Each structure stands twice: as structure tokens, then as C-alpha cells.
Structure 1
């Protein structure tokens, strides 16, 4: 991996950590801007490096760095009610990167929708298991409150990423 790639992977892990602090603390899952950072990581870095940026983010949080929402960290957050969402971040970045590599705002947006679906699916399943909820309750608590805002975030992210990537080769993906 080139130095530039290491820097960009680290940068997007840091961006995800910063965006996780922009939150509205509702229970059991806070509204954050992490998903926007995941989408941008996949779009800008492509599948491989976008995936790695989110793995770095999770590893930092797992060892206790306060990178998760509310300046929290530790392995217990990965096995708690919101851990499924966190575990899905690398998968989502990979999916977003895979479709973004095909170029074009439509591919990028479709990738972002697939990414958000993967985050919702894993998040909702872990929420259901950890809190002993029905699938309907898990959906109502862990997906429904976020749908509209996340679709808006994905549209915004696909527009921004597409425009930046069209205008610069600075963030060329490997």
C-alpha cells in the first residue's frame, strides 16, 4: 500500500470518528453522521481502501479510543445494541466503493443505498438479539427513525463525491 493510500485510509477513519460525534442521542440508537462518512469513504477511496478505513475505525473503537458516538469506545459497544451498525460499516464502504468505481452519480447513489441497507440489516438484527425485540420492534427502533434522513444524506454524499471526483484526480482510487 502506498503512503498516499495509508494517509487516506487514516483520514477517513478519523472523519468517521469526527462525524460520529455529530449526534442526536435518542435511544436505543442515536442519530449520527457516521453513515455519511462511511458513504464518502467508499465513494472516494473505492472498495478496498474504503473497507480498510472502516476497519481501522472499528479497531480504534474496540481498543477503547473514544471514536464512537458520545465519545465512547471499547469492545462492549461492538457487542451492545448498536454494534451491528458498526460492524456493517466496512461492508457498506465496500459495497459503495464497488459501485462507485463504475463511475457516475447513479451507480454511486445505488451503491450508497445498498450500503445503508447493509447497515440497517446488521444493525437491526443485533438490536433485535441484544434487546430481545421482535423484528418489527427492532425495525421501529433501529431503522424507521433514520430512513428519510439517511436517504437525504446518501443523495448529498453521492452528489458531493461525484462532483469532487469529476473535478480532481487528487483522490484517484486504486
Structure 2
């Protein structure tokens, strides 16, 4: 009697984390790893002269975790990341944490990670992270969401004008954001190619 073959990938949309075997604690472990990964890349920090906002690896971590984990887990990573810093864990740049850091001048960028993670994760759920030509625009858009929250917050927290906030909190980061988008697209595209070859 003939048996139906099982497809290499289920018919429902996937993100990379769905390829991990479904064990009871999988989501908790994946979110915890995402938080630690974001905290690790936050320590890659380069001060920007004249700006309270440093260049960090955080946004790269947001892009990678959101695209790999999907919208729900990606958002969960960023919510837990914020909560961890609120209780004082040194998860932000230069091993900082605490209430003052979370709600300070750069806090808007971190809160912007939440809608950015949702946007990227949702698009990845529909396959937008698998090809360079679709993932780069997605990852640029996701980072734009971070700045859309972070720059007005910076202006309100510091008393800067809109023009000053853009000068201090947006323009110096455009090139880095494009580079991060390209790096993330290359990493995720490579991961999907490896996953396909092993299936």
C-alpha cells in the first residue's frame, strides 16, 4: 500500500525557530536566548560625538531575533529585555540598567524595539526574511520604526528641537542601519539555505 510522503516543510508559514523540535519549554528557552543575545549585542557600543545615543548592536539583535522567532516570541524577547533592565540587570549598553536608563533619553529606542519586532516577525512569518531582496527593505523598515519612536522620545526627554533630535538621534545612524540590515539579511538567508539542505 502506498503511503503519502511528508513534505520537508509544513504548509503553514514558518520562521526559523519553528524548525526546532516542539518541546514544552521551547518557547521559554528561545525567548530567554533572544533576551541574552540582545543584551550581548548591546555591549557592542560606540559613542557618537554630541549625541547621548550610541551606535550599538541592539537593533541588529532585534532584527535577527524577530525574524528568527516570529511576531509573538520576537515581541516577548523585547518586553522581557525591557523588564530585565527595569529590575536593574546590566543588559543595556555599557552594562547599564535600571529605571533611569530605561526611561531616559535613549529609552524610546528600546520601546521602539517592540513594534519593530512585531513588524519584522510578522513579515518573516510570511517568508520575507528568506531572500536578500525582500529582507533588506524589511529590516530597514523595522529599524525605521525604532527611530520613529526613539527620536521624538529623545526630543521630549532632553528638550531638543525636532531638528536637533534628528541630528543627534537619527542622521548618524542611517549608514549603520543599512549595514545591519544587509548583515542580518545575509545571516538569515544563509540560515535558511542550510535548513533547506538538511531537510
Using the size of structure 1 for normalisation, the TM-score is: 0.92
Q: Which of 88, 96, 105 is 1:72 aligned to?
A: 96
Tell whether the 8 Å contact from 1:46 to 1:100 is kept in structure 2 after alignment: yes
**More off after superposition, 151-160 vs 102-111:** 102-111
In structure 2, what is the Cα distance between the partners aligned to 1:2 and 1:162?
A: 28
Q: What's the offset of the Cα at 1:155?
A: 1.2
Larger Rg: 2
Q: What's the offset of the Cα at 1:166?
A: 3.4
- Where do 5+ consecutive residues of structure 1 fail to align? 170-174
Q: What's the offset of the Cα at 1:167?
A: 2.1
Tell whether the 8 Å contact from 2:140 to 2:177 is kept in structure 1 after alignment: no
Match of 1:92 in 2: 116
In structure 2, what is the Cα distance between the partners aligned to 1:12 and 1:107?
A: 23
Alignment deviations for residues 13-54 of structure 1 (CA, whole Å, 9 cap, x no partner): 100000000111233101101000000011100111111111
Q: Which of 42, 52, 70 is 1:20 aligned to?
A: 42
In structure 2, what is the Cα distance between the partners aligned to 1:152 and 1:39?
A: 12
Tell me if 1:148 matches 2:175: yes
| Greater per-residue helix proportion | 1
Q: Which of 37, 49, 60 is 2:61 aligned to?
A: 37
Within a 5 Å distance, the mapping from 1:43-122 to structure 2 comes to 43-103=67-127, 104-105=130-131, 106-122=133-149
Runs of 4+ in 1 over 6 A off after TM superposition: none
Using the size of structure 2 for normalisation, the TM-score is: 0.81
Tell whether the 8 Å contact from 1:42 to 1:50 is kept in structure 2 after alignment: yes
Alignment deviations for residues 91-142 of structure 1 (CA, whole Å, 9 cap, x no partner): 1111111111121324432321221111111110110001111111101100
Match of 2:29 in 1: 7
